Structure 1
Amino acid sequence: MALDQTKRKLAAILAADIAGYSRLMGADEEGTLARLKVLRRELIDPKNKQHHGRIVKTTGDGILIEFPSVVDAVRCAIEVQQGMVERNADVPQEKRIEFRVGVNLGDVMIEGRDLYGDGVNIAARLEALAEPGGICISRTVLSHARDKVSFDVEDAGEQTLKNIARPVHVYRIIIDPSQRSATRKAEIPALALPDKPSVAVLPFTNMSGDPEQEFVSDGIAEDVITALSHYPSLFVIARNSSFTYKGRAVDVKQVGRELGVRYVLEGSVRKAGNRIRVTAQLIEAGTSNHVWAERYDRDLADIFAMQDELTEALTTALAPAIADAELRRAMRKPPESLDAWAAYQRGLWHLSKATPDDDATAEGFFKQAIELDPTFAGGYSALALYQLQAAAIYQKLDLPNAQRSAEALARRAVALDGADAESRSCLGWALQARGDADGALAEIERALSMSPNLAIAHGHRGATLIFAGRPGEGLAALETCIRLDPRDPYLAVRLLHVACGLYFCGEYEASIEAAQRLIRSFPDFPMIYRWPAAALGQLGRTTEAKDALEKAVSCAPGAFDMYVRKRAPWFRPEDHAHLVEGLRKAGWNG
């Protein structure tokens, strides 16, 4: 029998790429390449040699380096990023070259000079999670390097990485603590408490030791959020923002400040055999005082009944603050199959990442949820939302076909559970996508009457009003959406709608400022540039307008064709003409 000739070894792998590389090349191809050559010669190659690294491969904007020691890999990563901070100090933000770096220690396969395997793949996935100028490392790297290299970290929790079987615990190395603190304060201003009782439900901790149960604990927390959102006298932070604290050791006082809430609910889930234990505690954020706590032991078959008990007990604990709340609870209909529910939760996680690849993965999970439980409304509405997003944002699906399919799916969800506010809101969004603004608003308003704190419904309402000729009202609804969900993963889309709403109001300077905020926060988001181009054109700032117009065409040619050369169904003719007028003043000859 022939022996397996594959060679393996343990290696420290550093993966790096350039944030916003396409944008930099589009703006100044020759200048960007020249600066990259200088960086390689003066910074990266010397640091790599100093720390005994071997360059495995390079791409246009990326590099993969092998180190014999994880200590050397971390030192090299930190020193390169510190060097980039110094080099970028006097460079305008839009021209800065900023690296994202991932470092992993793992088993790799050797083939010639190349390396393969999860050890390499995880490093690449960690790099994708890093912020521009940042470094992400795995727990293995932290364990080996922490006492040998001086650095501080921020715990990013367990992350599900593409094509990696098990979640990886990720940490972010803090390059410049003082600068990071200032950035955090700018990104997350202290929020004033609302004029009604406010609560954030943190993701429940999975105590089972089984990553597969992560979606059970996530789902329990999400259903508690849904139940509390039905009370109009409560202010409830949306799941997307609450779940940014997942996997982190948090200070409830900090959570209260950052999310602007009075109460924080946290808990844990432990599964053993066919039994499940859920513990929960309600804390007043300002004082860290415990308001209420409870433990539930149930058979796994009774998990949904247990959720009802948990939400009822929590709302009862808040009774002094919500005495005037309506005595009604319209929980969504739970699926008959726990497997369907888990597939649905997995799909939501990927959908929230708002990337084309994650969208495709989410689609598979939603279809799986429907196959496992055809009576579960959530699977249909989530699949509809995926289809609309894939068509309108990424042009991955034919728009008319996606509209028809999404509307049918949303109607199926509403037929299965007419009390599910998210299904109603999704149906409204599907109607809006084919230009039925009145029908859309009717469904979205019904959703908000069921769940006044449903952030996504406020977002759908805002966009629908903007494209229905009521941009002022739409902007107010978007402001409510962003306040309810300050860390919304779809914030880029919300800011896009803010920019176009301000444009339709004739507030061109404000529209440009909103667009610039979006570009600063999401430099790779391609959908925004047509709006500042049109606004700059209206203001007669032709040089800036021409630059934005070139980016609008080059960064998203499919979107430019769909929204400018043609007219999307939800655009009124007069609004489309208003946009085209500005673009022609910017220099477009279409």
Structure 2
Amino acid sequence: MAADVAGYSRLMHNDEEATHAGLTALLADVVEPVIAEHGGHIVKNTGDGFLAEFPSAVEAVRTAMQFQNRIHELTMDDAEDRRIAFRVGINIGDVIAEAQDIFGDGVNIAARLEGVAEPGGICISQTVLNHARDKVSFEVEDAGEQTLKNIARPVHVYRIIIEPRRRPPTPKPGIAALALPDKPSVAVLPFTNMSGDPEQEFVSDGVAEDVITALSRYPSLFVIARNSSFTYKGRAVDVRQVGRELGVRYVLEGSVRKAGNRIRVTAQLVEAGTSNHVWAERYDRDLADIFSVQDELTEALTTAMAPAIADAELRRAMRKPPESLDAWAAYQRGLWHLSKATEDDDATAEKFFKQAIDLDPTFGGGYSALALYQLQTAALYQKLDLSTAQRSAEALARQAVALDGSDAEARSCLGWALQARGEADGALAEIERALSVSPNLAIAHGHRGATLIFAGRPKEGLTALETCIRLDPRDPYLAVRLLHIAGGLYFCGEYEASIVAAKRVIRSYPDFPMIYRWYAAALGQLERPAEAKEALEKAVSRAPAAFDMYVRNRAPWFRPEDHAHLVEGLRKAGWKG
């Protein structure tokens, strides 16, 4: 059993002496006697909580329910911002025992279960439920399989309903719970000023406001306006209630603490419906120019959050059976298959993108993704005629733009469709329009980088591709980004670096055939004949149609001089064509 006090730092900040005295009394008068009564013992205290072990899961559950009820009775009249409430996690597992501690996966999982429990609540694993359900009278709420921090496999989590009156708050009378939008939705709550200095309030408010502004530029996110999310300022809130009242799936909460010339910002992203922690981070900065630091913190927070939300949405979509997918989930499933960079997965991705369009013809993401799929399958696997794919992809991209002219992803997709026809100037114009709307849109930076590389500006292109990968390290198109980096380095004459980049692709995507062409050409330029010959054989045998398209012929987006440069390296590698 792992337990801690919810909001302990906030309680200590409000009244350190009263919090310490109250916690000490609850542990001595309630928790410790109940644990001993049921045959358990406290292994160690953790400052704001404890770790205990029991001879059986049944006794651990009885203990937790008993002391949680008793603590609730003792504290129910306390002010909400002063109330002490434990969160408890219970798991079964083998442990490594030392004199003052226990270790092992079983302990780690219990600690993570405690982290997703509500204040005053208890979370248990499937194994605990199986052991205790017929021996202790309780109901559970199934929270589903959850990915817990530093735990390799998802854990099926159940919340014990101690008493119906202690369930999470329901919406206020007359206020209906808002329906969730058809894309990931997030509310950024005002950050708590932990500095004890009212003058620092503008810093904590400023960080939250800037994060709201930055996130609102992501076309894939639905972001609640400041005026709504800031109504929770100064209140102890339940993220589930926030989710219901604002109609959002995710809630970002955080704090700002200033000490001397240093500032610390902590933030955590929580899935409102389950209270599951999706992402958390801490940032420490020197406080020289407050506005520069605020800008830096905002960029760091939004850069980390957007991929975290995308990853959470992808996991959520993958848990749904295909027949129950909505348009957004079908789109996410398609992106997952596209990220595998194999011919079969590309074909599966197409089915999901078409399903997304069928389910919601007004969802622009389905059209954009299907367009990118068509360009990719024609360029990488030659499964579609290139000219046919170019026309179809451009039409799909224009359909996405017509649905929403401010959709930055649609604009970027249209730019990529123009690039495929060799219209670099038009492509860059559309991509720049996308970035003016959403400056941190990773896919737009990726399209810009590749367009610049094939437009004779490879150094600028490489910088844009690095930005793309930094903004979204799990980009579904990562294999293609890395392929373009290898090509860009080759065009810069940095052949050794191109080889390193090519090997990175081969390690991560061993079934991706396109990289061997650049690998062979770079080895040829460096006069490494044995390695170059082996790479050349793979370039021809693994993708003969692609070799014809890019080497024997010239793709529309290749400049003649760049094509000649590639052919030169391949001839040095031993190609006789």
Normalising by structure 2, we get a TM-score of 0.49
Q: Using CA pairs below 8 Å that are at least 6 residues apart, which structure has the higher relative contact order?
A: 1
Indicate the structure (1 or 2) with the bigger Cα radius of gyration: 2
What TM-score do you get using the length of structure 1 for normalisation? 0.48
